[in-house]
Amino acid sequence: MKNLTLVSLRSFAFSLIYLLTSLSGTIALAHDVKGTVIYVDLWRDHVSFQFEMPVDELSFAFGKDTEPGITPLPATTEEIATYVLNHSKVQTPDGKAFTLTALVGESILHDSRNWQQIIVNATPPAGASPREYTLTTDVINHQVVSHHIFIFLRSDFETGQIAEPVYLDTLHYQMHESHFKRAPGSLQLGLWSIFRLGMSHIAEGTDHLLFLFTLLLPAGLMISARRRWGERGSARQTTIEIAKIVTAFTLGHSITLLAGTLGIATLPTQFVESMIAASVLISAAHAVYPIFPGKEALIALMFGLIHG
């Protein structure tokens, strides 16, 4: 029975290594709409609006004729940021103004067009909440009447909105105001939502499941005198080991998702994909020969940070 178990472990591990070489990652597109997109991120003391504007239509707003498609910027990025500030305001329900500052974001190529990001941070006046406001903006559509502005709530950590953006509103040349009110949340709800998102993300990702399953293969096995995998331990010991590994991997995964949501840390996609591949290879090798016996939960936590 012991030899059969070890043969099964080795066969499955080597099969996973072969399967891994055929996997390839994909990158999601930023958005699939044609007008300006505004992504709203709610923070404890302010709200951020990430404007993503098609440069060809932005050029018309600056009085410059252009053809649809990839177009040179009609002004410096600092001038574009100032333009967005001049054409936007955020107010409390009783009309008090938020303080606005603008940052230059990235230039994006998408759907044979280029887009310019401008991030506007809005800080409410004393005593006001960033969770209730009116956004007024007429970027581009004050000159291009066919232009639409699509608003999405991208993140609200305190109420657990941290996954896919949620559609909020559409503005056009006859409608420049969007009213927003969000119920209060809590830190506990945000943390629990991050953990649930981590579990969901793992369940939907083939590469995550490959790593986790390979790491679980030797769970509960004892180390023989020859430093090889030996007999399996008790059912209780195996169950505890599996629970520790799964929880540690989910926790690491969730921590990275939280860091990404808060904009704390991002890594190059190619580096992350390489590390994910390495994690599956290492765990598969560990299933054949004990490389880090007794430390599977720690390894799961560390690689969970990468997989997130």
pLDDT above 70 coverage of the chain, percent: 75
Last residue of a domain, one of 160, 185, 210: 185
Report pLDDT digits (tens) over 186-240: 667 766 766 666 667 666 667 777 777 777 877 767 666 567 776 767 788 788 8
Same domain as 107, residue 198: no
Please indicate whether residue 5 or residue 210 has the higher confidence score (pLDDT). 210
pLDDT at 30: 43
Q: Which of 185, 220, 235 is the last residue of a domain?
A: 185
Give helix 235-261 / helix 206-216 axis angle, nearest 10°. 150
Query: What single-letter amino acid sits at 73?
Result: L
Q: Position 102: which residue type? A: A
Same domain, 290 and 212: yes
pLDDT given for residue 120 in this prediction: 98
203 burial via Cβ count (<10 Å: 0-12, 13-18, 19+): exposed
Residue 31 lies inside a defined structural domain of this protein = no
Full residue range of the structural domain in which residue 275 is found:
2-26+189-307
DSSP reduced 3-state for 31: coil
Residues of the chain by 3-state class (helix, strand, coil), percent to 5: 40, 25, 35
Pair (168, 293) in one structural domain: no
